[in-house]
Amino acid sequence: MPAGWYEDTDPEALEVFLQLHRRMTPGQRVARVFELTAFQESLQRASVRSMYPRAGEREVFLRVAARRLDRETMLRVYGWDPDLHP
């Protein structure tokens, strides 16, 4: 484990966490990744909605995408310039 990871976690709690993950099947691990990805995406959407309460669904989608993609990709794929919509 990289140095610094889980420094604030009780060693016994960390061991329980690791054991639970070791017991997961590969399919369960993949499902967990998808669950965490969906959760992260919902947090990003909520953040954008709080910053831009009048934004429609398309604008929320674009603003979330712009947090992950560079400007050139946003322009090429979506035709949307994040620099024009701060």
- Cα separation, 82 vs 69, whole angstroms: 10
> Average pLDDT of each block of 10 consecutive residues along the chain (86 residues)?
74 92 96 96 97 96 96 96 86
C-beta separation of 21 from 29 below 8 A: yes
Say what the pLDDT of residue 2 is: 57
Say what the pLDDT of residue 85 is: 84
Say what the pLDDT of residue 7 is: 83
Would 6 be classed as within a structural domain? no
- Cα separation, 12 vs 65, whole angstroms: 38
C-beta separation of 61 from 85 below 8 A: no
Domain count, the chain: 1
User: Which domain, by its residues, includes 52?
Assistant: 11-84
Say what the pLDDT of residue 3 is: 60
